[in-house]
Amino acid sequence: MFEIQRGPEGEVQLIGRLDAAQCEAALRLLDSGPPPAVIDLARLDYISSAGLGVLLKTQKRAVAGGKGLRLINPNKHIHDILRYAGFDRIFEVVTPGP
């Protein structure tokens, strides 16, 4: 299961599992308007390499528009994946407080 929602402050919320089967739909939704400034990962349980590609494409579009993308609230597992992939050097990643 995978969902994308807009949060109360305009952030994009990724929910569930972002794997290869969901990437086309995720990109279609993320590309349908202005690039998001914030993506909330609090309810993202899993992300595949294809899902990382979705984040990277969204970041490239945001940077081309003069902005960057901030990833917030990843759980420990997702944060580790972002760090191992080097995405913490590409994105601003904000982990939840203690």
pLDDT computed for residue 98 by the predictor? 64
pTM: 0.92
CA distance 66 to 15: 27
**Tens-binned pLDDT, residue by residue, of the chain (98 aa):** 999 998 888 899 999 999 999 999 999 989 888 888 999 999 999 999 999 999 999 999 999 988 889 999 999 999 999 999 999 999 999 998 66
pLDDT computed for residue 10 by the predictor? 84
Amino acid at 54: V
CA distance 62 to 42: 21
Q: 9: helix, coil or strand?
A: coil
What domains sit in the chain, N to C, each tagged with a CATH number? 2-94 (3.30.750.24)
